[in-house]
Amino acid sequence: MITGSNEDKKLQTWYSNACNAYKDSDSGRWEAARWCAKIVGKYERGATIGLAADMGVSSDTVENLAHAYLMFIEFCSKRKYRSATRLARNAPRVYYSHFRALYTARHRYHLSLAEAFDVLRDIVLDEGGISSRDIDGHITEKYGKVRDWRDYAESALKKIASTLKCPDLPDEGRIKFMDIFNWINHNVTDITPER
């Protein structure tokens, strides 16, 4: 029996729904993604790691599922993209991993939503010719955009956040890592340490 606040019960329900949906293979990935998106980055520290353990996957997988769903929702938030996005989600050879890769690429290359949607349309029209791994190359070819130092700094920020969670990190190192974390967070992005 679950005891605790309504928020604790809601979180436990989301955990359970995500775990059960993920077990359904591809048919359940989108359902799992929906529940993961409610948890990743929105609840107490350790929620993503706890969900990953319950699902039997890495925390990166939980974040990828959440990011795929967030990209889907962002497309659907614009009426002009809504119907086509729903059709794309169910199209043959278009997977949640395409939406996850689009989420990453949108931030990595500073794409507008319209540019990201054009890439989604290309994926659907190419009928499997553009895999989720091919999206970066497709964006570079289509828009001439390349990764810049900010993307690498954001990647470093995630590693630094993980390092800061280590209880055995010496105090001197913690101070230096915090200085770097704060500089990157202030000058590059507004993300917070991974949960």
pLDDT score recorded for residue 4: 65
Which residue type does 44 have?
A: E
- Cβ-contact 26, 16 below 8 angstroms: no
Measure the CA–CA gap between 12 and 76, rounded to whole angstroms.
27
SS3 78: coil
Helix H segments across the chain? Answer: 6-22, 26-39, 47-55, 59-76, 79-89, 96-108, 113-125, 135-143, 149-164, 171-187
- Cβ-contact 100, 133 below 8 angstroms: no
**Prediction pTM value:** 0.71
**Going residue by residue through the chain (195 aa), what tens digit of pLDDT does each one get?**
345 678 778 877 887 777 776 765 566 788 889 989 988 877 666 788 888 888 889 888 999 999 999 999 999 999 999 999 999 998 988 999 999 999 999 988 889 999 999 999 999 999 879 999 999 999 999 988 887 787 788 878 888 988 888 888 899 999 999 999 999 888 876 443 333
